[in-house]
Structure 1
Amino acid sequence: MQPVAVVTGVGRRLGRYLTDQLLDQGYRVFGQYHTSRVSASGESSLHLTQVDFRDSQALERWCQQILALTDRVDLLINNASLYQPDADTAADGMVQLTQCHQIHLQAPYLLMMHLNGRLQHAQGQIVNLTDIYIHHPNEDYSLYCATKAGLDSLTQSWARSLAPAVRVNSIEPGPILFLDEHSAEYRQQILARTLLQVEGGLEPIWQALWMLINNPYMTGARIPVDGGRSVAKL
């Protein structure tokens, strides 16, 4: 039977890459994007839906669409992320905090609650994408780090509460893919404090995910994929 994956944040970068790899492995993928849409042309196994996770009702409608179309979910990947430096004012900061909470905590929670029955039926698994900064927060990205740390806490709680039927793990990316706005100086500074001193790229995250998919004896694991940055001086 064709395995089914639900993936958030498929419009660009890591989410798009992971989606392509899952399709190559024969998965049927239900993908959420916000603004950057990946093309589904010619791909019958890819179901794309625009969902703004700041709207809980839109998220619930998406869950109902998934439930109507499949009786199983083998894999839920919570990848959607809002990576922004902290706002300069309290008013803007409160807006940003709310959005980080909605994307990093509320959306994964609601997806788990709505899809839990399908995950249980398939004896599936949840993989949450967190960040190595949950252990050593970046003071300029405190709201991002705090809510990603909350997702890590949910991961550990779900690993306990959903066992033994559903496995729950997390992957903690490090400097895998710089943003276009990152200067050469910034990139050099980051890589100088990364043991392997290279930008990782997206494939190592897929390799970690594929290992988790295929290892039935792992739950509650935190997998850093960061070139050794988390054990170097951040």
Structure 2
Amino acid sequence: MSAFRLDGEVVLLTGATGGLGQAMARELAAAGARLALAHLDDHERASELAASLAATEVLTVAADLTDPDQVDALFDQVEARFGGCTVLVNNAGMMEESAFAEMSVEHWNRTLEADLTAPMLMCRRFVRGADGRGRIVNVSSQLAFKGARNFVSYTAAKAGVVGLTRALAREVGPGVRVNAIAPGPVITPLIADLADDPQWVAERTSGAVTGNVATPEEVAPIVVFLAAEASALLHGQVLHANGGGVMF
């Protein structure tokens, strides 16, 4: 079997109904994975996505990933359907703008719960049932390394995802491989109109080699790579899928 294939693997993907999540689901399915697609409450879009992936076995589950009980229930459903999952992709999250001086504590807590606590809860439940083997792919952001005006809470949370990834890789490796990606701006339906504005694109790709905003289809294959045996030597790494906007 190709080191880039996922035949026989069960992938639990969060944030599956978003623009990036849908692209990830398609790439993971194309690589041979069976899929558990988690979403907050987007039942119609989840059903449409599952129908479009008819060539693979798909389970869709609605869950609030900031609630430990709902996280447990999600994993219980995956275990009942597939016998468990071998790969976890923490893609779900939120991004809310606020000037720091006016930022409320509620805004701060809401962002950290969605973007850092939820991945932690998912990782914890995955590790408990992994029997010492598996792969975790966390989605951070280039802003964790660059920062951004009016996005202090999001930047802090995504930096926390990097720390979570590295510390967890030390604790549960080598049997469970934990890595992350740090995308730059990605053209999803939520920002499709903004991506047509040259000034908006220039501001968000300043310093990048490519100088363009990525598509979900460009980012998704990197997740497949981190989920597959092709990346077997990668532990605690962050792949900067941002066109050279951040270099290490």
TM over 0.5: yes
Match of 2:61 among 49, 53, 74: 49
Deviates more, 1:165-174 or 1:34-43: 34-43
Separation (CA, whole Å) in 2 of partners of 1:85 and 1:225: 22
Cα distance change on mapping 1:24 and 1:4 into 2, 3 Å: same
TM-score of the superposed pair, with normalisation by structure 2: 0.83
Aligned counterpart, 1:165: 175
Following superposition, the deviation at residue 221 of structure 1 comes to 0.8
In structure 2, the partner of 1:154 is: 164
* Range with greater deviation from structure 2 (95-104 or 146-155): 95-104
- Secondary structure in structure 1 of the residue aligned to 2:205: helix
Runs of 4+ in structure 1 over 3 Å off: 87-90
**Residue in 2 aligned with 1:223?**
239
Choose between structure 1 and 2 for higher RCO, CA contacts under 8 A separated by at least 6 residues.
2
Give the CA deviation at 1:5.
0.4
Unaligned runs of 5+ in 2: 1-6
Residue 7 (structure 1) aligns with? 13
Tell me the residue number matched to 2:201.
187
Give the whole-Å Cα distance in 2 for the aligned partners of 1:2 and 1:135.
Answer: 35
Q: How many residues in Structure 1 have an aligned counterpart in Structure 2?
A: 230
Residues of 2 paired with 1:131 and 1:107: CA distance? 16
Question: 1:93, CA displacement in angstroms?
Answer: 2.3
State the SS of the aligned residue for 1:157.
helix
C-alpha contact (below 8 Å) 2:137/2:180 kept by paired residues: yes
Q: Sort the Cα spacing of 1:118 and 1:149 in 2 relative to 1 into closer, same or farther, 3 A.
A: same
Tell me what 1:137 maps to. 147
Deviates more, 1:133-142 or 1:27-36: 27-36
Identify if the C-alpha distance between structure 1 residues 56 and 149 changes in structure 2 by more than 3 Å, giving closer, same or farther.
same
Tell me what 1:102 maps to: 113
Tell me the TM-score normalised to structure 1 length: 0.88
List runs of 5+ in structure 1 lacking aligned partners.
Answer: none
1:208 aligns with 2:241: no
Q: Report how far residue 116 of structure 1 moved.
A: 1.5
Aligned-pair identity (%): 22
Residues 1:78 and 2:90 aligned together: yes
In structure 2, the CA distance between the partners of 1:67 and 1:138, relative to structure 1 (3 Å rule), is same
Q: CA RMSD in A?
A: 2.4
**For residue 96 of structure 1, what is the amino acid of its counterpart?**
H
After TM superposition, give the deviation of residue 115 of structure 1 in Å.
Answer: 1.9
Question: 1:164 is matched by which residue type in structure 2?
Answer: P
Distance in 1, Cα, partners of 2:100 & 2:164: 29
Contact 1:7 1:30 in 2 (8 A): yes
Shift of 1:188: 3.0
